Structure 1
Amino acid sequence: MTAEKYEYPALASQEDMDAHDVPFVHRDHCAAPLIEYYKCLDKGTSFCAKTKDEFFKCQYFTLKDRLAAHK
């Protein structure tokens, strides 16, 4: 079984995170997908599953990397 290689998104700027009220605990590699999810929710649509899944995928790989660093 081969490990999936995940390409982290570009880091969001401090101004973007402040403008979208990103919580402090989420101001990491995954802030950009979270901002995209917030933008989707702001449009008032209920079709935000793709952006939400991308955020959680980023969180999953971030957790895997942190756990692998502590082995």
Structure 2
Amino acid sequence: MTLRQVYIVGALGGLSAVVALVLFAALAVGLYCATQRLIDLHDEHKVRRQDLNACRAIARLGTTNHPKDNA
């Protein structure tokens, strides 16, 4: 191998390492964002479920002798 070929192989190796690191970083950021989105959706679901349970509890109370508006 000539010196030029050695430099070209080294440059290609370095370039492939940089591409691999960028792809790995993009994958890590994507997984982080997806995980955060799932956690946020789960928290929102818990809040809605608690609100729905409160509404159902209020509805089960019922009313007795509720005055009606005669207007």
User: TM-score by structure 2 length?
Assistant: 0.36
Structure that is richer in helix per residue: 2
User: TM-score by structure 1 length?
Assistant: 0.36
Point out which structure has higher relative CO (alpha carbons under 8 A, 6+ apart): 1
Structure with bigger gyration radius: 2
